[in-house]
Amino acid sequence: MPIEVKNELGKIQVMNEVIATLAGSAALECYGLVGMASRNQFKDGIAELLGRENLRRGVEVRHEKDRTEIDLYIIVSYGTKISVVAQNVQAKVKYVMNEVIGLQVNTVNIFVQGVRVA
């Protein structure tokens, strides 16, 4: 279901896949993040690290009435403080969604799926 953004010129419909890709790209710019993890798949208890072409597989976008929520499944770098990395990712994703699309995101949930030694 696409998000509809209204402005003085008319309406813009943005598909969830576009929002997921933008959110994943914004998250990858944060220090301490190794990459995105698949939200559906574990292999032997180890999260699958996604490449740049599959970023949206690690992001889930939900719309409920006037609320937008984004879930990010990430893998962090060993030696970084997980809570700080998660807070930075949340802030960056909210900022990018507001600036690029004009979409107010109510909640950005972070699910740390693993830690990788770089």
Tell me: the pLDDT tens digits for 37-83? 876 665 545 566 656 666 677 899 998 888 899 999 998 999 999 99
Backbone angles phi, psi at 29, to 5 degrees: -80, -10
**Across the chain, how many H-helices and E-strands are there?**
2, 7
Q: How far apart are CA 118 and CA 16, in angstroms?
A: 31
Mean pLDDT of 22-33: 92
86, 112 Cβ separation under 8 angstroms = yes
At 102, which CATH number? 3.30.70.1350
Domain that holds residue 18: 3-116
CA angle 101, 41, 21 (to 5 degrees): 15
- CA 4 centroid distance within chain: 19
User: Would you state the pLDDT for residue 2?
Assistant: 78
- How many domains does the structure of the chain reveal? 1
